[in-house]
Amino acid sequence: MNSELSTENSEQMSKWVMAGLILVTIGYFGWFFTASTSAQEPHGSSHIVEPVEDSSHHDSEPESEKHAEQEHGEAGEEQHASSPPPALYSVIPFVMLLGAIAVFPLFHQTEHWWEHNINRFKVAAGLGLFTLVYYAFLYGHPVEDHFTHGHAESGLLGSVVILKNAILVEYVPFIALLFSLYVISGGIHLRGTLVGKPQLNAAIIGLGGLLASFIGTTGAAMLLIRPLIRANEERRYVAHTIVFFIFVVCNTGGCLLPIGDPPLFLGYLRGVSFLWTLNLWPMWLTMNCVLVAVYYLFDTLRFRHENLDLEEIEAEQKEPISVDGGINFVWLIGVIGCVALLDPSRPIPGTDWAPPVFMREVLMGLLTAVSLITTSNQTRQLNSFNYDAIVEVAALFIGIFICMQPPIQILDVYGSQLGIDEGWKFFWGTGLLSSCLDNAPTYVVFFETARTVAEPGAETIAGVTGLHLIGISLGAVFMGSMTYIGNGPNFMVKAIAEKNNIRMPSFFGYMLYSVAFVLPACILICLIFLRS
């Protein structure tokens, strides 16, 4: 009965989501074309965020506009130098939020209360409000507006700027990408007899590690997590399989292309060549082979202890492998294209036109609506698809993005004073902070720090020494797997597993796994590849 009710609610929710996304698309493009016509400017240039340095398409602009970006950069440097970092106590809401995520599921008094997403949202938004109050009444210094690149504000207006930075610049693109990949991948169902023997489980995790770089860690995770859970329905011990799935598919598999993981995409936007990350293939191959091999040995021991006869089950239920909802691969490619091409801060390659702000997110939403229209409800039912996991991520990360503004700002000020000047130091600095902060903004902080320590005349990539950039990239991607909050897909996979009655480790229980298995692999990577 509960399953039928959940399916009915999911179908109803899909209708509302589909209608909402279509209305948002119509409203956005209605505004865009109306504003373009009224502005009477070519290419809708009045609606875009100022592109990154590219003087080739500014020749017809007034002299004051030609130098706007340079003046902004100088103003930003002055503001950066004159505005002190937030007080250390400003990180208390962030620490409390991490504590709530870690502790509330452990106690009987709070366990069931915490299961409701509305209560997660109350805690996250409430602590986020404390952070905004700090900036409004206690900080007292200007903060830079990353959304409009306008002048810095302080006091109540400064609090509004912090909210804009957290929500419009970071949260909206983050949740839009995760939501579109989650819903579209949820419409792809892998049919066939899947029996959770160690060989099959290791193969699924390895396949996910390969796909993660090309359809994103979220896309690969949402595509394969349900078949993996279904394959292990007869297994007694399943949680360790989901944990290793998070390690590889949600994290370490995504470092070959910028679309694989958000931190690398931010590097691409800052001038790193799109194909530069392919240079990380030896580290990618080593890390994932080690983790998959260790998982195979670990799962083999667990499987022998369970003493199951899965061959009989496999013989009775033999069904060839096939795919339902394959049209969604087209929509996934469309999302990847949006992410790769529609950056409002730079022109589309081969043109002098930069897309308006939020066009990328709106088009991803439109592709999500198209996926809902073109995929049958039966296909999503076979996947036990619902919106609970993505709603959980949305509810928690809205608070995380707001509460992490002070620690990120503190790091931005003191990052160059930390004595981090070698590749292995950048690896561990970026990695350890990516474990407890979201790995995307952490990557940005250390990327900018690396630019300040690059020696004059040294060969660099986008202003960063090659070994430093390797350390930053690997630290953000690999060690985002150390906790549930290190990367967005981690939480989604955990939530999906728990909705399928798999008892996942607690926050600290998960860390025992990551310290035991990921940390030694990271040490190995550091010793082999990052010693100058």
Provide the residue count of the chain: 532
What tens digit of pLDDT does each residue of 411-460 get? 777 776 778 888 999 999 999 988 877 787 788 778 878 887 888 777 88
CA distances from 298 to 198, 201, 241, 291, 510 (A): 9, 11, 9, 10, 16
In this structure, is residue 81 part of a structural domain?
no
In this structure, is residue 217 part of a structural domain?
yes
In this structure, is residue 131 part of a structural domain?
yes
Cα–Cα distance, 265 to 262 (Å, whole number): 5
In this structure, is residue 41 part of a structural domain?
no
Comparison of pLDDT for 409 and 474, the residue scoring more: 474
Please measure the distance between the N-terminal and C-terminal CA atoms of the chain and give it in whole angstroms. Answer: 61
Q: What is the mean pLDDT of residues 292-296?
A: 97
Burial of 134 (0-12, 13-18, 19+ CB in 10 A): buried
Q: What is the pLDDT of residue 270?
A: 74
Look at residues 441, 437, 444, 445 and name the one whose alpha carbon lies nearest to residue 400.
Answer: 437
Q: What angle do CA 81, 86, 90 make, to 5 degrees?
A: 170
Comparison of pLDDT for 329 and 415, the residue scoring more: 329
Residue range(s) defining the domain that contains residue 195: 2-35+124-529
Helical pair 172-185 and 328-341, crossing angle rounded to 10 deg: 160
Comparison of pLDDT for 194 and 61, the residue scoring more: 194
Q: What angle do CA 27, 31, 36 make, to 5 degrees?
A: 150
Give 64's pLDDT tier (boundaries 50, 70, 90): very low
What letters, b where the CB count within 10 A reaches 16 and e where it falls short, cover 335-363?
Answer: bbebbbebbbebbeeeeeebbbbbbbbbb
What tens digit of pLDDT does each residue of 95-130 get? 899 888 878 887 888 888 998 999 999 999 999 999
In this structure, is residue 71 part of a structural domain?
no
Q: What is the pLDDT of residue 31?
A: 87
Q: What is the pLDDT of residue 130?
A: 97
Helix (H, G, I), strand (E, B) or coil at 461: strand
Q: Report the percentage of the chain scoring pLDDT > 70.
A: 87
In this structure, is residue 149 part of a structural domain?
yes
Cα–Cα distance, 125 to 403 (Å, whole number): 9
Cα–Cα distance, 65 to 60 (Å, whole number): 10
In this structure, is residue 85 part of a structural domain?
no
This prediction's pTM: 0.79
Q: What is the pLDDT of residue 167?
A: 92
Q: What is the mean pLDDT of residues 325-339?
A: 90
Q: Are 342 and 201 in contact (CB under 8 A)?
A: no
Residue 464's H or E segment, with its range, is strand 464-465
* 267 alpha-carbon distance from chain centroid: 14
Mean pLDDT (the chain, rounded): 84
Q: Is the pLDDT of residue 66 over 80?
A: no
In this structure, is residue 55 part of a structural domain?
no
Cα–Cα distance, 23 to 32 (Å, whole number): 14
Q: What is the pLDDT of residue 119?
A: 94
Cα–Cα distance, 283 to 2 (Å, whole number): 45
Q: What is the pLDDT of residue 214?
A: 87
Residue 2's H or E segment, with its range, is helix 2-39
Q: Are 101 and 484 in contact (CB under 8 A)?
A: yes
Q: Are 228 and 241 in contact (CB under 8 A)?
A: yes
Q: Are 124 and 97 in contact (CB under 8 A)?
A: yes
Q: Is the pLDDT of residue 73 over 80?
A: no
Q: What is the pLDDT of residue 311?
A: 64
For the chain, the domain total comes to 1
Structure tokens at 289: 């082979």
Could you give the count of Cα atoms lying within 13 Å of 431 in the half-sphere of its Cβ? 29
One-letter amino acid of 166: A
Cα–Cα distance, 23 to 42 (Å, whole number): 26
Task: Please name the residues in contact with 363: beta carbons below 8 A apart, sequence gap of 6 or more.
Answer: 25, 334, 338, 342
- Name beta bridge partners: 465: 460
Structure tokens at 402: 């707001």
